[in-house]
Amino acid sequence: MKLKVSNLKFDSLQLLRRRIVIPVSIFIFGFTLIPLKQFRGLTLMPGDLGDARLNNYFLETIYLRLTGELDSFWNMGMFFPYPLVGGFSDNHFGSAIFYVLPRYFFGQPETAFQIWFLIGYLLNFSFAFLALRKLGMSSIGASVGAGIFAFALPTSAHAIHAQLHHRWAIPMAIAAISTFLKGGGSRWLGIAALWITAQFYIGIYNGFFISLFVVAIIFSHLIIRVFTFRKSQRSNNLKSFKNLDYTSSAKLIGMLLTALVAIAALFFTYYKVSLLYVGSRSWAEIDPMLPRPRSYFIADHSLLWRSLSSKIEDVPLRWEHQMFVGVVPMILFLLGAIVMIRTKNRAAAGIYLATTLVVVLTLYVKSFSLWYFIHDFPLFSAIRAVTRVDQVLLFAVGYGSALFLTWLGARQVRNRNQLHTLMAVITLLALLEAATGTIGTSEKSVWRERVANLAKKVPSDLPKDSVLYFAQTDPWYAHELDAMWVSLQAGKPTLNGYSGQAPPGWNFTYGADCNSIPIQVASYQVWANAHPEYAKNFAGLLSRIRPIGFNNCDYMYFQRNP
């Protein structure tokens, strides 16, 4: 009896180690070595004075809307009086809760943004681990795969694009659609649709790319079934629909309708924005941001690989092409492909083939890309930086790595300790290589000082209906964000603006010349003439504008009331 009890305790400890200790240890190691170390705790901000602060601005707008201090999210105070300017970029609705709570309790937008960003690492790792376990991976395999998804080199390169950081619905969508295609039941189709919808609410870019990847998985599944014809297997998914009872049918329809309605609700405003501002991207904008074959070997931000990476030349908008995942993940991914072939794993084949299809579809070689033929399709036409597909492909790399390590861990060998040591070394090398990637950061104190210094220039006796407009200093984009933040904190709209798009005819650089004000106002008047339903926003605009920091202003001009 004592022997049985001791064996039971030993088995329980082993189970605890596999399920909790291994993934928690790997996460803590990667989290400490990469973001915490590089951010020096909460001293440095992820990103620069541009896009990072823009994403912080969006999250702060959501917070102020929820607390009742703003009347609308979509009609933000920037680019005033243009409507629906919140639709110029991502929205963060799906991840905003992780900003709102620390913002409420700590009171500082910058600190809340840091916490929101750091929570993204935890969620990305945790959901990737759960998804890989669902896909049949061992604890160590799933932990390493999740570590690659959460910490690999491209994640550090894209830290300057905070809208891409929260990607935790991607693994769940892939796990759900793969489970459905393996015959796990029709409900998994509905679950996949809900996770895709969730990712759209978290971020438009990653929502789009996971949709593309899921379609590629389904297409790959059909190809594999055609070339490995087995009638019983080909009918599994059809049977799962035919055998549905009333309750199961209602649940599936409910999930699909929920996803459809949620997507429609989200994109209704974006559709209106596209009609108002012609929001599609031209091929000339997309072309430089399509992945080249050499893009997959660029890692200028890696202390280990930057010297070799610098030898790769002739890449436009180079900062968008930092797609090298690292040598260790790449080798593990290729070894996973060998395991997939040897074990005839059809589920793995579907993910590998889907990865190949997405890479080929988005690749740009000698001025040619298949993407050209679909770039002006609905939704496709709004995607400019196609290189950001690497944020979805990272899960495929993590999956392949997990597949190999799961296979390796299941080998029957005499000396298990040597095997465990080998797997520990692989894990350590993968994390250490990821840690060589430097994250673009900026000083939190600088963020605050810039806004505080500009706020001092705002008169204290402004009328309630004032519209602020700040003269511009260099760098222009940082100053525009200074102006947006000062205006937001003052509760006033502003003519200043910076986002993923801009109103037609917008003058981006104007300095301190007061003559730029009538030009901006005239641009809105031209636009409003084409959209008379918004012409009322122009009424009394001139008399409401309060120029701050401009030279040679004729203040009689602002007394006009067109």
Q: What is the C-alpha separation between 358 and 336, in angstroms, rounded?
A: 18
What does the pLDDT read at residue 562?
47
Residues 79-110: tens digit of each pLDDT? 999 999 999 999 999 999 999 999 999 999 99
Q: What is the C-alpha separation between 378 and 88, in angstroms, rounded?
A: 16
Q: What is the C-alpha separation between 512 and 514, in angstroms, rounded?
A: 6
More confident site: 508 or 321? 321
Spatial contact of 174 and 131, defined as CB atoms under 8 Å apart: yes
Beta strands at 467-470 and 441-443: parallel, antiparallel or unpaired: unpaired
- If one counts every other C-beta atom within 10 angstroms of the C-beta of residue 363, the result is 18
What does the pLDDT read at residue 345?
94
Q: What is the C-alpha separation between 79 and 278, in angstroms, rounded?
A: 16
Asked whether the predicted pLDDT for residue 13 surpasses 80, the reply is no
pTM reported for the whole predicted model: 0.93
3-class secondary-structure state, position 437: strand
Spatial contact of 147 and 34, defined as CB atoms under 8 Å apart: no
Q: What is the C-alpha separation between 198 and 192, in angstroms, rounded?
A: 10
* Residues β-bridged to residue 45: 442
Residues 367-410: tens digit of each pLDDT? 999 999 999 998 898 899 999 999 999 999 999 999 999 999 98
What does the pLDDT read at residue 23?
95
What does the pLDDT read at residue 519?
84
Q: Could you tell me which of 340, 348, 418, 405 has the C-alpha nearest to residue 22?
A: 405
Phi, psi of 203 (to 5 degrees): -170, 130
What does the pLDDT read at residue 126?
98
Task: Establish whether the linkage from the previous residue to 503 is cis, with ω within 30° of 0.
Answer: no
Q: How confident is the model at residue 189 (pLDDT cuts 50, 70, 90)?
A: very high
How far is the CA of 539 from the CAs of 79, 446, 464, 524, 536, in angstroms?
Answer: 16, 38, 16, 11, 5
Domain boundaries, the chain: 22-47+92-435, 456-559
Q: Residue 510 gets which letter from DSSP?
A: -
- If one counts every other C-beta atom within 10 angstroms of the C-beta of residue 103, the result is 25
- Say what percent of the chain tops pLDDT 90: 74
Residues 504-542: tens digit of each pLDDT? 888 888 888 888 888 888 888 889 888 888 888 777 788
3-state helix, strand, coil in the chain (%, to 5): 65, 5, 30
